[in-house]
Amino acid sequence: MSNLNREEEVLLLSWSRDIRIGLSALQISLIGMYMDELCEWNMRMNLTGLTSREGIIRELLLDSLFTARFLPEEGTLLDVGSGAGFPAIPIKICKPKLRIHLIEASLKKVSFLKQVVRRANLSRVKVIRGRIESDGNLLNREGYDIITVRAVAYLPKILVWCAPYLMPGGLLVNFQGSEFEDALTAGEDVLKRHRIFLYKAVPYKLPGKDCERNLIIFKKK
Protein backbone atom coordinates (compact mmCIF):
# COMPACT_ATOMS: atom_id res chain seq x y z
CA MET A 1 0.00 0.00 0.00
CA SER A 2 1.50 3.33 -1.07
CA ASN A 3 1.85 6.19 1.43
CA LEU A 4 1.41 8.63 -1.46
CA ASN A 5 -1.96 10.22 -2.10
CA ARG A 6 -3.67 9.64 -5.43
CA GLU A 7 -2.39 12.84 -7.05
CA GLU A 8 1.19 12.15 -5.95
CA GLU A 9 1.06 8.57 -7.19
CA VAL A 10 -0.31 9.62 -10.58
CA LEU A 11 2.47 12.22 -10.91
CA LEU A 12 5.13 9.67 -9.92
CA LEU A 13 3.88 6.99 -12.32
CA SER A 14 3.51 9.49 -15.17
CA TRP A 15 7.06 10.77 -14.66
CA SER A 16 8.51 7.26 -14.39
CA ARG A 17 6.87 6.36 -17.71
CA ASP A 18 8.18 9.54 -19.33
CA ILE A 19 11.75 8.81 -18.26
CA ARG A 20 11.43 5.08 -18.94
CA ILE A 21 12.07 3.60 -15.52
CA GLY A 22 9.85 0.92 -14.02
CA LEU A 23 8.61 1.18 -10.44
CA SER A 24 7.13 -1.79 -8.60
CA ALA A 25 4.40 -1.50 -5.96
CA LEU A 26 7.08 -2.03 -3.29
CA GLN A 27 9.26 0.74 -4.70
CA ILE A 28 6.32 3.15 -4.81
CA SER A 29 5.52 2.25 -1.21
CA LEU A 30 9.13 2.89 -0.13
CA ILE A 31 9.12 6.26 -1.89
CA GLY A 32 5.91 7.15 -0.05
CA MET A 33 7.41 6.14 3.28
CA TYR A 34 10.49 8.23 2.53
CA MET A 35 8.34 11.27 1.73
CA ASP A 36 6.32 10.79 4.94
CA GLU A 37 9.45 10.55 7.07
CA LEU A 38 11.10 13.51 5.38
CA CYS A 39 8.07 15.78 5.73
CA GLU A 40 7.65 14.82 9.39
CA TRP A 41 11.30 15.59 10.19
CA ASN A 42 11.18 18.72 8.06
CA MET A 43 8.53 20.22 10.35
CA ARG A 44 10.98 20.03 13.28
CA MET A 45 14.24 20.87 11.53
CA ASN A 46 15.28 22.29 8.18
CA LEU A 47 16.38 19.31 6.08
CA THR A 48 15.65 20.89 2.70
CA GLY A 49 15.20 24.39 1.36
CA LEU A 50 11.62 23.44 0.49
CA THR A 51 8.83 23.27 3.03
CA SER A 52 5.86 21.88 1.09
CA ARG A 53 5.46 18.18 0.34
CA GLU A 54 4.45 18.96 -3.24
CA GLY A 55 7.57 21.09 -3.72
CA ILE A 56 9.84 18.35 -2.37
CA ILE A 57 8.27 15.75 -4.66
CA ARG A 58 8.35 17.94 -7.77
CA GLU A 59 11.73 19.62 -7.25
CA LEU A 60 13.80 16.91 -5.56
CA LEU A 61 12.23 13.48 -5.87
CA LEU A 62 11.42 13.62 -9.59
CA ASP A 63 14.83 15.16 -10.27
CA SER A 64 16.53 12.29 -8.44
CA LEU A 65 14.53 9.60 -10.23
CA PHE A 66 15.60 11.07 -13.57
CA THR A 67 19.20 10.28 -12.62
CA ALA A 68 18.47 6.59 -12.13
CA ARG A 69 17.77 6.18 -15.84
CA PHE A 70 21.46 6.74 -16.67
CA LEU A 71 23.06 4.57 -13.97
CA PRO A 72 24.01 0.87 -13.98
CA GLU A 73 22.10 -1.67 -11.90
CA GLU A 74 25.11 -2.70 -9.82
CA GLY A 75 28.33 -1.20 -8.46
CA THR A 76 29.37 1.26 -5.77
CA LEU A 77 27.94 4.77 -5.47
CA LEU A 78 29.12 7.69 -3.35
CA ASP A 79 26.65 10.52 -2.74
CA VAL A 80 28.44 13.72 -1.70
CA GLY A 81 26.70 16.16 0.63
CA SER A 82 23.65 13.90 0.84
CA GLY A 83 21.49 16.33 2.84
CA ALA A 84 18.00 14.85 3.01
CA GLY A 85 18.98 11.95 0.75
CA PHE A 86 18.59 13.34 -2.77
CA PRO A 87 19.42 11.81 -5.15
CA ALA A 88 20.88 8.75 -3.37
CA ILE A 89 17.83 7.38 -1.53
CA PRO A 90 15.51 7.43 -4.60
CA ILE A 91 18.33 5.91 -6.67
CA LYS A 92 18.79 3.11 -4.13
CA ILE A 93 15.06 2.40 -4.13
CA CYS A 94 15.10 2.19 -7.95
CA LYS A 95 18.34 0.20 -8.13
CA PRO A 96 18.52 -1.94 -4.98
CA LYS A 97 21.66 -3.84 -6.03
CA LEU A 98 23.83 -0.72 -5.82
CA ARG A 99 26.11 -0.42 -2.78
CA ILE A 100 25.84 3.16 -1.56
CA HIS A 101 27.81 5.45 0.75
CA LEU A 102 26.23 8.76 1.76
CA ILE A 103 28.59 11.37 3.17
CA GLU A 104 27.04 14.31 5.00
CA ALA A 105 28.51 16.79 7.51
CA SER A 106 25.34 17.75 9.40
CA LEU A 107 24.57 15.55 12.42
CA LYS A 108 20.80 16.11 12.17
CA LYS A 109 20.80 15.10 8.51
CA VAL A 110 22.95 12.05 9.25
CA SER A 111 20.44 11.03 11.92
CA PHE A 112 17.59 11.43 9.45
CA LEU A 113 19.37 9.41 6.77
CA LYS A 114 20.07 6.56 9.18
CA GLN A 115 16.41 6.55 10.21
CA VAL A 116 15.26 6.29 6.58
CA VAL A 117 17.73 3.49 5.86
CA ARG A 118 16.44 1.57 8.90
CA ARG A 119 12.74 2.14 8.20
CA ALA A 120 13.02 1.24 4.52
CA ASN A 121 15.28 -1.72 5.33
CA LEU A 122 17.77 -0.61 2.68
CA SER A 123 20.68 -3.03 2.57
CA ARG A 124 24.26 -2.19 1.64
CA VAL A 125 23.87 1.50 2.51
CA LYS A 126 26.34 3.27 4.81
CA VAL A 127 25.79 6.79 6.15
CA ILE A 128 29.04 8.61 6.92
CA ARG A 129 29.30 11.82 8.88
CA GLY A 130 32.03 13.92 7.27
CA ARG A 131 33.13 16.03 4.32
CA ILE A 132 34.68 14.67 1.15
CA GLU A 133 37.37 17.37 1.15
CA SER A 134 38.68 16.45 4.61
CA ASP A 135 37.46 12.95 5.51
CA GLY A 136 38.60 10.83 2.61
CA ASN A 137 39.91 8.23 5.05
CA LEU A 138 36.28 7.28 5.73
CA LEU A 139 35.62 6.42 2.08
CA ASN A 140 36.44 3.40 -0.07
CA ARG A 141 40.17 3.37 -0.79
CA GLU A 142 39.64 1.70 -4.15
CA GLY A 143 37.15 4.37 -5.21
CA TYR A 144 33.60 4.28 -6.58
CA ASP A 145 31.87 3.36 -9.83
CA ILE A 146 29.47 6.31 -9.49
CA ILE A 147 29.65 9.62 -7.62
CA THR A 148 26.59 11.86 -7.40
CA VAL A 149 26.73 15.51 -6.32
CA ARG A 150 24.01 18.13 -6.10
CA ALA A 151 24.64 21.83 -5.38
CA VAL A 152 27.39 21.55 -2.77
CA ALA A 153 29.93 23.80 -4.54
CA TYR A 154 31.00 25.34 -7.85
CA LEU A 155 31.69 22.66 -10.47
CA PRO A 156 35.52 23.01 -10.61
CA LYS A 157 35.71 22.50 -6.84
CA ILE A 158 33.41 19.47 -7.08
CA LEU A 159 35.74 18.00 -9.68
CA VAL A 160 38.80 18.56 -7.47
CA TRP A 161 37.12 16.86 -4.51
CA CYS A 162 35.56 13.92 -6.33
CA ALA A 163 37.97 13.00 -9.13
CA PRO A 164 40.44 11.09 -6.88
CA TYR A 165 37.64 8.79 -5.69
CA LEU A 166 36.30 7.90 -9.15
CA MET A 167 37.34 4.51 -10.49
CA PRO A 168 38.46 4.08 -14.13
CA GLY A 169 35.33 3.89 -16.24
CA GLY A 170 33.34 5.46 -13.41
CA LEU A 171 30.64 8.13 -13.73
CA LEU A 172 30.49 11.48 -11.94
CA VAL A 173 26.96 12.92 -12.00
CA ASN A 174 26.17 16.57 -11.29
CA PHE A 175 23.00 18.67 -11.55
CA GLN A 176 23.20 21.99 -13.37
CA GLY A 177 20.83 24.65 -14.64
CA SER A 178 20.37 25.73 -18.25
CA GLU A 179 23.82 27.34 -18.49
CA PHE A 180 26.84 25.36 -17.36
CA GLU A 181 29.41 25.98 -20.11
CA ASP A 182 31.42 28.55 -18.11
CA ALA A 183 31.71 26.19 -15.15
CA LEU A 184 32.80 23.42 -17.49
CA THR A 185 35.46 25.62 -19.03
CA ALA A 186 36.75 26.58 -15.58
CA GLY A 187 37.18 22.90 -14.74
CA GLU A 188 39.08 21.91 -17.90
CA ASP A 189 42.47 21.59 -16.18
CA VAL A 190 41.08 19.33 -13.47
CA LEU A 191 39.36 17.15 -16.04
CA LYS A 192 42.58 16.71 -18.02
CA ARG A 193 44.67 16.04 -14.92
CA HIS A 194 42.39 13.23 -13.78
CA ARG A 195 41.65 11.85 -17.27
CA ILE A 196 37.95 12.69 -16.99
CA PHE A 197 35.79 13.81 -19.90
CA LEU A 198 32.24 15.04 -20.43
CA TYR A 199 30.29 11.88 -21.26
CA LYS A 200 26.75 13.24 -21.48
CA ALA A 201 24.85 16.47 -20.93
CA VAL A 202 21.16 15.67 -20.79
CA PRO A 203 18.70 18.61 -20.91
CA TYR A 204 15.28 18.09 -19.34
CA LYS A 205 12.34 19.86 -17.72
CA LEU A 206 10.43 18.76 -14.66
CA PRO A 207 6.62 18.49 -14.88
CA GLY A 208 4.99 21.89 -14.58
CA LYS A 209 8.33 23.73 -14.82
CA ASP A 210 9.44 25.93 -17.71
CA CYS A 211 13.12 26.22 -16.80
CA GLU A 212 15.52 23.80 -18.43
CA ARG A 213 17.92 21.75 -16.31
CA ASN A 214 20.90 19.64 -17.28
CA LEU A 215 22.18 16.38 -15.92
CA ILE A 216 25.94 16.47 -16.43
CA ILE A 217 27.69 13.10 -16.54
CA PHE A 218 31.47 12.83 -16.59
CA LYS A 219 33.40 9.62 -17.16
CA LYS A 220 36.91 8.62 -16.14
CA LYS A 221 39.10 7.09 -18.83
CA–CA gap between residue 100 and residue 75 (Å, rounded): 9
**Tens digit of each residue's pLDDT, the chain (221 residues):** 468 999 999 999 999 999 999 999 999 999 999 999 999 999 999 899 898 999 999 999 999 999 999 999 999 999 999 999 999 999 999 999 999 999 999 999 999 999 999 999 999 999 999 999 999 999 999 999 999 998 767 889 999 999 999 999 999 999 988 888 888 999 999 999 999 999 999 999 999 888 999 999 999 99
Dump pLDDT digits (tens) for 38-52. Answer: 999 999 998 998 989
Query: Residue 50 sits in which domain range?
Result: 6-220
Q: Are strands 213-220 and 196-204 parallel, antiparallel or unpaired?
A: antiparallel
How does DSSP classify residue 201?
E
The CATH code of the domain that includes 75 is 3.40.50.150
**Is 113 inside a domain boundary?**
yes
**How many Cβ atoms are within 10 Å of 43's Cβ, its own excluded?**
9
Q: Which of 74, 95, 76 is nearest to 147 (CA)?
A: 76
Q: Render the burial of 92-125: b for 16+ CB within 10 Å, e for the rest.
A: bbbbbebbbbbbbbbeebbebbeebbeebebeeb
Count of structural domains within the chain: 1
